[in-house]
Structure 1
Amino acid sequence: MSAGLASAIERRRIGWWLVAAALACVVGLFLFSFVGTFVLGLFVYYGARPVNRRIQRRVDSRGVAATVTLLFIVLPTLTLLGYASFVALRELTATLDSQTVTLLLNRLPGDQQSLAGVFRDFPQFVQQLGQASQFQQVLQTLAGVLGAATTGLLHLTLALALAFFLYRDGHRLQGWYRETVGGRDTAAYSYLAGVDTDLEVVYFGNVLTVLAVTLGSMVVYNGYNLLAPPPVTLPFPTLLAVLTGMATFVPLVVGKLVYVPATAYLAWRAVQADGSLLVYPAGFLVVVFLLLDVLPQSVVRPYISGQTMHEGAVLFAYILGTALFGWYGLFLGPLLLVVVVQFANVVLEDLVWGRPFSPEPTDATGLGTDPTERKADTVDGAPDGGATPSDDAAGERTGEESEN
């Protein structure tokens, strides 16, 4: 009798495992279809999480802190970067051929052909607005642009919604994970704690440095053009500023990829016009080197967060991720790097040698954060300005309440 009961229980367990596998496939298909939105939401979450924690300590409400973070920190930042990118794209289309512009736009979401048509010849597009014979063509182009903008706004809205709920309800997710998957002294918890901390280091540290360099470059480049005589002015200063900021992703080399060729161009223009004008490129190089290279690398980046990943690994994660996956590869590449590194740190050695899984990391790679030092940081905590002991206790109580 007991054997039959055990067999029935086992069959039911197998059935539930099949249901779990089916649900996992559905969720996996959903995430695969919206992987760009998902990783963009994680980028927004980790990129502003330290700021969110500081706001939360002042307002003592997770919901209000999440709203303030998105409305007054994230959205203005994205708007400013979006405007700078728009101006840079307009400057870029004025210098490159239409085939190259279309190739670049194909890496963006939405109806790129319509966008390419508008940016490729923007003045002619404006003139067509007043010609009745071409009104239908203008409407079709506007419809394509509107569709592309709607797609982009949909991605952005869903990403911001994901970040909002992670800010507000992340402690509940942490409590569920701790109670269901593994407590603080398990390899599962240690693994997620390391991934969580390293994602914040990579996203918040590198991306915020890029933001600072981009804004600083816009001020420096446009300010230089106000002071320099016409023969030695920078062409397309906003475009160069955006490129300088993006080049900061590259470890060690950083903005030199942009401002060194720009300085060489200015020196060539000075020699062609008047040798005495060489003082302007020389001054430009000194100012840019100090403000956009030395200052971000020696002061800004270390102040924001310490680096735990190998610079070469991060470099390949950004470049190869973008080349392989497109626009969202900029965020997915570092995420995959962190997931793999922490797996090698916490799980791989015990898995290979058949030992009991331990939360202690190995010395196999020497990369990533030591998760045993950040066990309170899994989903909603951080050592600097993050979870306090009271926050931790609140997380424990949340887990107990959900269990009851």
Structure 2
Amino acid sequence: MCAFHEWDGRRTVWIGLGVVIAAAIGLALFTYVGTLLFAIFLYYATRSLYGLLDRHVDHPNVTAVVTILLVVLPMVVVVGYTGIVALRELDQVLASSGLESYRSALDPYLTMAREGNVDRFRAALTSDTGRSITSVLRQGLPSVIERLSSVAGFVFAVLARFFLMVTLLFYLLRDDWKLRRWFTRSVDHDEEIVSFLEAVDDDLETVFVGNLAVVGVATVIAAGTYVGLNLLASGGPVVGTPVLLAFLIGIGTLIPAVGMKIVYVPYGLYLLVLAVATSTPLWQAIAFFALSFTVVDTVPDFFARSFLSSRSGVHMGLVLLGYFLGTLAFGWYGLFLGPIVVVFAVHFAHEVFPALASAFLSE
């Protein structure tokens, strides 16, 4: 639009319209900034997988859907199954330690976790014990509606964010080349700008893919360690669900500073409580802590992370600092925003700042 060079008034109008549009989009995205950043993280972490599948599947929509299913679906299954297993383990602890009062208070949830169905709930509704569904509705209809409304609102909010994340991830995977081509044309193929953003793009992929690889390495090592511990234990398995715990430990490596300790330390304390309250041997908790700290926590952190960081142009110490400070400054979504800011800052310092400083000092 060459008119921009001829009439400043028209240029001002177009710039003002662009600012209004950008502000509206920015406000909408800021409301769901955590969802947006999580989608960006998954995009960079799965872009290589999408490219690999795209070479064999000649349909972008199918390739994007398969990529999302291979990554997102296991995460949802692990989180849901973790909740069920956690309730079952809590039920066993309360039953064996004499804390029946707490167990009775949590009985509706523990029952569903033990049985894995709603048969008992259905029986309670149809039983003739004076608390039939009609009497319940008569006595507490307002409170029931209020609880259902709050639960429905929470479920809707979670599903809306999940749908937004999946939608963003789908179109980023399928149409990223269109976005890249549009931006390149918009800056008139400026070599300095394009090279800067390409370097940032490459390092973001390396950092996020590296983190996903560390998750995989930690998961495999933890699963092998805990399965081996169960095989060596003569008095029964030490870790009731070694594969599930390994998945959670792998995900825990993404958390800055604390890392996988947020998973295996509480589980080790749970084993200590079992040893004190029941006849479970104390050596099981000690062996679990020792193996978790020396094998599971050390190998992925010092070896796998160091190897993967050598492929990136950004120092791993700065990336870890970005994770830590990002989480402290912005909350949970700083876990994804922190590394992005660090990568931009490093490339700005290397490629842009020296030229700006030189031009400023020469004036």
The two structures have a TM-score, normalised by structure 1, of 0.63
Partner of 1:117 in structure 2?
none
Distance 1:191 1:125 in 2: 53
From 50, 66, 80, the equivalent of 2:77 is: 80
Query: What is the CA distance between 1:189 and its match in structure 2?
Result: 0.9
- Contact 1:271–1:278 (8 Å) recurs in 2: no
Secondary structure of the residue aligned to 2:56 is helix
- Aligned in 2, Cα 1:326/1:256: closer, same or farther, shift over 3 Å? closer
Deviations along 1:251-308, one digit per CA (max 9) or x if unpaired, are 898546765797799799889999x974884487458744564257535874698344
From 166, 170, 188, the equivalent of 1:164 is: 170
Matching of residue 207 in structure 1 with residue 224 in structure 2: no
User: What amino acid does structure 2 have at the position aligned with 1:52?
Assistant: Y
User: What amino acid does structure 2 have at the position aligned with 1:123?
Assistant: D
Sequence identity (%): 32
Partner of 2:150 in structure 1?
144
Moved more, 25-34 or 234-243: 234-243
Moved more, 291-300 or 313-322: 291-300
RMSD: 4.6
From 131, 151, 154, the equivalent of 2:160 is: 154
- Contact 1:211–1:245 (8 Å) recurs in 2: yes
User: What amino acid does structure 2 have at the position aligned with 1:200?
Assistant: E
Distance 2:105 2:247 in 1: 22
- Contact 2:35–2:161 (8 Å) recurs in 1: yes
- Aligned in 2, Cα 1:140/1:134: closer, same or farther, shift over 3 Å? farther
Partner of 2:98 in structure 1?
none
Of structures 1 and 2, the one scoring higher in RCO (CA 8 A, sep 6+) is: 1
User: What amino acid does structure 1 have at the position aligned with 2:199?
Assistant: G
Secondary structure of the residue aligned to 1:59 is coil
Moved more, 17-26 or 285-294: 285-294
- Aligned in 2, Cα 1:234/1:323: closer, same or farther, shift over 3 Å? farther
Partner of 2:182 in structure 1?
176
User: What amino acid does structure 1 have at the position aligned with 2:186?
Assistant: T
From 54, 57, 67, the equivalent of 1:69 is: 67
- Aligned in 2, Cα 1:168/1:126: closer, same or farther, shift over 3 Å? same
Distance 1:84 1:190 in 2: 45
Partner of 2:30 in structure 1?
32
- Contact 1:221–1:237 (8 Å) recurs in 2: yes
User: What amino acid does structure 2 have at the position aligned with 1:180?
Assistant: S
Distance 1:58 1:254 in 2: 36
- Contact 1:88–1:238 (8 Å) recurs in 2: no
Distance 2:172 2:273 in 1: 52
Distance 1:33 1:232 in 2: 46
Distance 2:4 2:50 in 1: 51
Matching of residue 49 in structure 1 with residue 79 in structure 2: no
User: What amino acid does structure 2 have at the position aligned with 1:163?
Assistant: L
Partner of 1:244 in structure 2?
249
- Contact 1:244–1:258 (8 Å) recurs in 2: yes
Secondary structure of the residue aligned to 2:339 is helix
Partner of 1:395 in structure 2?
none
User: What amino acid does structure 2 have at the position aligned with 1:165?
Assistant: Y
Mark the runs of 5 or more structure 2 residues left unpaired by the alignment.
93-103, 112-119, 125-130
- Aligned in 2, Cα 1:68/1:345: closer, same or farther, shift over 3 Å? same
Secondary structure of the residue aligned to 1:309 is coil
Distance 2:193 2:285 in 1: 58
Partner of 1:194 in structure 2?
199
User: What amino acid does structure 1 have at the position aligned with 2:356?
Assistant: L
Distance 2:79 2:274 in 1: 31
- Contact 2:231–2:237 (8 Å) recurs in 1: no
Distance 1:125 1:258 in 2: 22
Distance 1:45 1:6 in 2: 36
User: What amino acid does structure 2 have at the position aligned with 1:153?
Assistant: L
Deviations along 1:199-250, one digit per CA (max 9) or x if unpaired, are 2122221134225534654675477457636699459978965663354236
Moved more, 264-273 or 336-345: 264-273
